[in-house]
Amino acid sequence: MYIWIKALHVIFMVTWFAGLFYLPRLYVYHAMPEHKSSFELFKVMERRLYIMMTLGMGLTLLFGVIMLLQGNGILLKSGWFHAKLLFLALLFAYHYACYKIMIQFRHDKNTREHKWYRWFNEAPSLLLILIVILAIVKPF
């Protein structure tokens, strides 16, 4: 059963990251004044994508906790797992930051330029690399 739970965990992680990669890209375009005619469409797309990625996050978390419980807490004794939890905390904070930005755009209160969002868009890539290396390589 563990391997099925793990497969579901990975499937919903991919769903979550799809949103984490694409939503900030929408913010890049939404912050560009030349796309002003599409701002209302961006608002709808951002809201729908945020819902999808939040479902992915919740199910990733659910299946991760189930795996943790099935392992009788053995993972909690591993240093790599503690590091992974730290990066996951940063990822949850990034997810929340995406929500706050979406609300700013919804109320037409964005104050940042598209270049800032291009840099903001890179964070989940770095976190994905670190989390996957920790989970697969288990370096410590």
DSSP 88: H
84 assigned to a ligand binding site? yes
100 assigned to a ligand binding site? no
Distance CA(85)–CA(62), nearest Å, equals 14
Judge contact between 124 and 70, C-beta under 8 A.
no
Residue partners of 19: CB distance under 8 A and separation at least 6: 49, 50, 52, 53, 54, 56
Report the SS3 class of residue 2. helix
Judge contact between 20 and 98, C-beta under 8 A.
yes
Residues in the annotated binding site: 9, 84
Residues in the annotated binding site for heme: 9, 84
